[in-house]
Amino acid sequence: MGSLISKAKAAAATAPAPTGPVAMTYYAKAQTVKPPLIANDNAFLGDTSSSEKLDPEKPISAGFYRLEKGTPLVYEYTYHEMKVIVEGSFDISDEAGNKVHAVPGDVFYFPKGSKITFTTDDYGLGFYCGQRARDTA
């Protein structure tokens, strides 16, 4: 079995690279679209894009997370994620005792295994990029 897996990995590593130019993808005004509801009645998240089709072994997915005033969201990360606050504000804390009042321009790294609590007095919007497949948050 091990040799079969090794052969498959070797074949993938030697697969020909795409020929010709590789096009970028553009999402106009993506920040203005409200993501789908994911928890409680105030937490929204939606992937805008993913590299999953081009790199299924090591995909990254990116999109927007919005939290409105109400129930805090406690989330345990099963993947690595970076988040940039783009609108509003969040109060973000972890199990290690770190607490931050996050405002636009602040950047966070949430390592795999971290348990994070998000709250807001009004609303907050963040752009994230996570090391996971599309729609698996």
Q: In 51-98, which ranges are E strands? A: 61-68, 73-76, 81-88, 90-94
Confidence of residue 8 (pLDDT cuts 50, 70, 90): very low
> Is the pLDDT assigned to residue 4 strictly greater than 60?
no
The pLDDT > 70 percentage for the chain reads 87
Cβ atoms 131, 119 nearer than 8 A: no
Structure tokens at 107: 């950047």
The predicted structure's pLDDT at residue 16: 58
52: left (phi over 0), alpha (psi -120 to 50) or beta: alpha
Which of 111, 87, 74, 94 is CA-nearest to residue 35? 87
Q: Is 59 helix (H, G, I), strand (E, B) or coil?
A: coil
* DSSP letters spanning 13-43: HTSPPPPS-------TTGGGSPPPEEETTTE
Annotate 40-53 with b (16+ C-beta within 10 A) or e (fewer).
eebbbbbbbebebe
Task: Note the pLDDT tens digit of each residue in 40-68.
Answer: 999 999 999 999 999 999 999 999 999 99
Phi, psi of 77 (to 5 degrees): -80, 130
